[in-house]
Amino acid sequence: MTKPDDTIRVLIPLNVRKKNGRPKIMPPADYRPSEDQAQDPHILRAIGRAWGWRRRMDAGEFATIQELAEAVGLAERHVSRQLRLAYLAPEVLKRLTCGREATAVSLYDLCFLASEAWGEQVGRAVGEAPPRTT
């Protein structure tokens, strides 16, 4: 039987933070992720869904976002916001899906980046400074 003096305590320095409305365990600041670490699955799923919706609308399957929302069983406002992901800059999509870079913004904020110029999207999405124009 163990005595109270035989207790071993292990402390792991982790922080819990909300990301996309869900709690996420954040590693220590000096942690270096491995090369094979994948992107946030919520963002990848949302981008894939948005492109699927865009293709269906371009093919003429749905005339309005309201029709699309009813067909997929989601709120029109949600579909409208998520559909914007299909109009992100090609460089942003490449970095998020193929480059496996972590986003500097949440999925919600990423939806609103599509309304900005493509040059500004890259900097805001992955946390780089935008290129200077003189």
Q: Is residue 112 part of a domain?
A: yes
Length of the chain: 134
Tell me if 107 is assigned to some domain. yes
For residue 121, give its domain range. Answer: 38-126
pLDDT, position 133: 47
The helix/strand/coil state of 34 is: coil
Q: How would residue 115 be classed by pLDDT, with cut points 50, 70 and 90?
A: confident
Whether the Cβ atoms of residue 62 and residue 56 lie closer than 8 Å to each other: yes
CATH code, domain with 83: 1.10.10
DSSP structure class, residue 39? P
CA distance 45 to 52: 11
Residue 110 lies in a domain: yes
The Cα–Cα gap between 102 and 105 comes to 9
Q: What is the DSSP letter of 89?
A: -
Over residues 14-71, the pLDDT tens digits come to 778 887 778 877 766 766 655 545 567 788 889 999 999 999 999 999 999 999 999 9
* pTM of this structure: 0.63
Calculate what percentage of the chain has a pLDDT beyond 70.
75
